[in-house]
Structure 1
Amino acid sequence: MKKKTRNRVIAVVAVVVVALIGYFSFFKKEAVADKTVKVGIMSGSKESTEIWDSVAKKAKDQYGINLEFVRFTDYNQPNTALVNGDVDINAFQHYAFLNEWNQANKADLQPIGDILISPIRLYSKKYTNVQDIPNKGTIAVPNDTSNESRALHVLEGAGLIKLNTKAGALATIKDITENPKDLTIKELDGSQTASALSSVDAAVVNNDFSVPAGLTSKEVIATEPLNKDSKQWINIIVAKKEDKDNKLYQDVVKAYQTKETEDLFAKLYPEKGTIPAWNLNLK
């Protein structure tokens, strides 16, 4: 082979090799990008952050998935972000909230995995027993439809009010049939009930906000029971209807539903304020 011809062959081979390297490098990057999942969550406590960090590590190590978190500050944002494609899945709501949101927004977002349940609690910085709440006292509750219903049932369970609602219906303050202490039920955004404790007699506070507010079991005067009616309060991972069976998103669910996550819940929530729900046996 002549020297000139040989050099041409070498040059062509070099070009082909460089092209192949570039080709496979490009598609490798594309593959990595394709395995990034944006998860919409609430800006919450360090405990919640630690759990999601653990899930992200599991997703990366076992399934090669990169979790990218988009954090929100109120409950009105994450579902809209999911519908708009700003996140791929979200994890902030329970079944009842999702059902109500879907109906109100003519949407069809779908649950793809149970994650946790947080029995909500009635807190007070003034009293240690619900019976000590005075006549004409004020109790703050979350004002979104599902959590307000949940809060009112906590008050009913504590003997402060009685409700009359149809089976399966969400309760509102209009459903209060008995209020022997003539209590004022103050409806506030869920993020504000904890801060209202300085100005009201008691407040029902969701766990997303009670932990960041520094509330502890010492301020709890009533707790929501766990029973067969509690399924609607289980928090879930949610996707668009067309993505319900998406393997990538199902693998994120698997990365969450592990023994490691269960152990982390036990460590971070020793008072069982929040517990894993995927193996929960509700009776």
Structure 2
Amino acid sequence: MKLKKFFALTLAAATLALALTACGSKAGDSADNSDANTDNQTGETVTVKLGVVGGIYDDLWASAKAALADEGIDLEIVQFSDYVTPNNALANGDIDLNAFQHRIYLQNEIDNYGYAIQNIGNTFIIPLNLYSQKVSSVDELKDGDVVAIPDDLTNGGRALKVLEAAGLIELDPNAAFNPTVDDITSYKVNITIEELKANTIPSVLPDVAAAVVNGNYALDFGLKTDEAIYKDSVLDVEEYWNLIAARTADIEDPDTAAIYEKVVEAFQSSATEDVFNNTFGGYFIAVGWNQDLINQ
């Protein structure tokens, strides 16, 4: 089943993917840049290695990969088994681009590790919807009910904003886009918020009144958007937008930047949006495609 590929990741698969790219030219490798760009101009294929986390990205990028092949660009998807490695691999030149993270995560990585990498194109946002197996409406939640949210800072903050938008709590406006439970100023319904690992939340739905579930885990557990008792409406906060990242040094090279611009344009297409809507039932929402982040 296509959706079940989401967590079919192994380190061996990532290693194999890396090994398979060894014979290809690299658009972002400074040592190979002139050869890669010359090959592209003479009609030969140039390989761009894109790091991702999750087999689902094979489907999300399929139409872009096909379109780029017509442009003489072989987009090679490189799978990683965790969220830590892809930025390190990008910074070290093992891959040319990655597309697995949102802006908050990227900035945190840059702050912590000093990576000279940057956002070159927005991709999508994944909603965090509120699900329940016990009530059919937010209005049915009552005092004392337990509502589960992710315990990590980024998704936990988003989840609290979802609960606020649903009319369950109020947050300190000074908490900006990443609030914590300490930023709750009042409860409109005296629910008990339980912070749990994001990947465990779907399995505890029978035990809680409701839960905010990450879109990727909702997909894996077969939860549908139309089953949500409240749909995430906090989609315009740019810090939550997912992105394509590249090395800053590569973007400063006009020839390499031109290749990467083609990659961004190939993803930001109606064909990709069809995949969002038809294959994944609207769990992926296109955002920020009108922003030109390479030529800004």
Equivalent of residue 238 in structure 2, options 211, 222, 231: 231
How far has the Cα of 1:214 moved from its partner? 0.5
How far has the Cα of 1:180 moved from its partner? 4.8
How far has the Cα of 1:34 moved from its partner? 8.0
Q: Deviations over 1:116-149 (max 9, x none)?
A: 2223211122221123234333222223322221
The secondary structure found in structure 2 opposite 1:222 is coil
Equivalent of residue 224 in structure 2, options 216, 221, 236: 216
Identity of matched residues, % = 37
CA 87–173 in structure 1, closer or farther in 2 if over 3 Å, else same: farther
Aligned residues: 249
The one-letter amino acid paired with 2:285 is I
1:260 paired residue number: 271
2:48 paired residue number: 37
Query: In 2, distance between residues paired with 1:105 and 1:256?
Result: 28
Query: In 1, distance between residues paired with 2:83 and 2:274?
Result: 28
- 1:140·1:186 contact (CA, 8 Å) conserved in 2? yes
CA 145–219 in structure 1, closer or farther in 2 if over 3 Å, else same: same
1:203 paired residue number: 211
Q: Deviations over 1:68-103 (max 9, x none)?
A: 222344444433333344432111222233223323
- 2:61·2:272 contact (CA, 8 Å) conserved in 1? no
2:258 is the alignment partner of 1:247: yes
Equivalent of residue 57 in structure 1, options 26, 50, 66: 66
Query: In 2, distance between residues paired with 1:104 and 1:173?
Result: 24
Query: In 2, distance between residues paired with 1:57 and 1:279?
Result: 19
2:171 is the alignment partner of 1:163: yes
Query: In 1, distance between residues paired with 2:276 and 2:249?
Result: 31
Decide which structure has the larger Cα Rg and report it.
1
- 1:39·1:89 contact (CA, 8 Å) conserved in 2? yes
Q: Deviations over 1:37-81 (max 9, x none)?
A: 221222154xx432312211111122x222222234444443333
The one-letter amino acid paired with 2:126 is S
TM-score, structure 2 normalization: 0.72
2:158 is the alignment partner of 1:147: no
Query: In 1, distance between residues paired with 2:173 and 2:110?
Result: 21
The one-letter amino acid paired with 1:276 is A
CA 97–263 in structure 1, closer or farther in 2 if over 3 Å, else same: same
Q: Deviations over 1:244-281 (max 9, x none)?
A: 353332221122122322333332245x3322224469
How far has the Cα of 1:109 moved from its partner? 2.6
2:88 is the alignment partner of 1:80: yes
2:285 paired residue number: 275
Query: Structure 1: 5+ residue runs without aligned partners?
Result: 1-26
Q: CA RMSD in A?
A: 3.0
- 1:123·1:205 contact (CA, 8 Å) conserved in 2? yes
Query: In 2, distance between residues paired with 1:86 and 1:131?
Result: 51
TM-score, structure 1 normalization: 0.75
2:186 paired residue number: 178
Query: In 1, distance between residues paired with 2:218 and 2:93?
Result: 30
The secondary structure found in structure 2 opposite 1:193 is helix
Query: In 2, distance between residues paired with 1:183 and 1:106?
Result: 40
How far has the Cα of 1:199 moved from its partner? 3.1
Query: In 2, distance between residues paired with 1:199 and 1:153?
Result: 23
The secondary structure found in structure 2 opposite 1:239 is strand
CA 105–232 in structure 1, closer or farther in 2 if over 3 Å, else same: same
Query: In 1, distance between residues paired with 2:136 and 2:246?
Result: 41
The one-letter amino acid paired with 2:46 is K
